[in-house]
Structure formats: C-alpha cells, structure tokens
C-alpha cells in the first residue's frame, strides 16, 4: 500500500501537482510522506514484502531467544 501511494505521488508530481495537493490526495501528512520516501522510496513492491517478512522473522527470533534465555536461567537455578 505504501509503495502504491508513493508511486501515485510520483505520477502526480510529474503532472505538476504541488506536494500539499499530493499529500491530501494520498491521505498522508508531510512527515509521513517524507518518512515513507526515506524508507521505501527506492524499493519495489516485492522488496517491501521481503522486508516485511524479514522484520517479522527477526521479531519472532528475538522472542525465541528471550524465551530460551529465561529457560536457561530456570535450569541453572
């Protein structure tokens, strides 16, 4: 969704729309728009899906490490 909104913004920019009009059209604030451009501006849709998958896997692995650490502490005492 973010990538699609950024692409829509690019099209509107190329048609001469102002940033204020673009932000209103895609339904985001200026801060959100610039944050999205910084994070996702050069990414393709498949790359953003992969990034999302990796972030979810990273989160899952962090929880697993925390659980295993607690289990190890339990075994020691």
pTM of the model: 0.57
Let me know: does 72 contact 30? Beta carbons within 8 Å: no
Q: From the first residue on, what is the mean pLDDT of each consecutive set of 10 residues in the chain (77 residues)? A: 88 95 96 92 78 93 96 87
The per-residue pLDDT for 43 is 72
d(CA 10, CA 4): 10
The per-residue pLDDT for 26 is 96
């Amino acid at each position: 969704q973010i990538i699609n909104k950024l692409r829509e913004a690019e099209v509107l920019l190329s048609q001469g729309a102002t940033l204020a009009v673009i932000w209103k059209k895609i339904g985001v604030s200026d801060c959100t728009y610039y944050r999205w451009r910084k994070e996702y501006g050069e990414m393709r849709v498949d790359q953003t899906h992969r990034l999302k998958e990796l972030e979810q896997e990273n989160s899952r692995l962090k929880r697993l490490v925390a659980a295993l650490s607690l289990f190890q502490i339990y075994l020691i005492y």
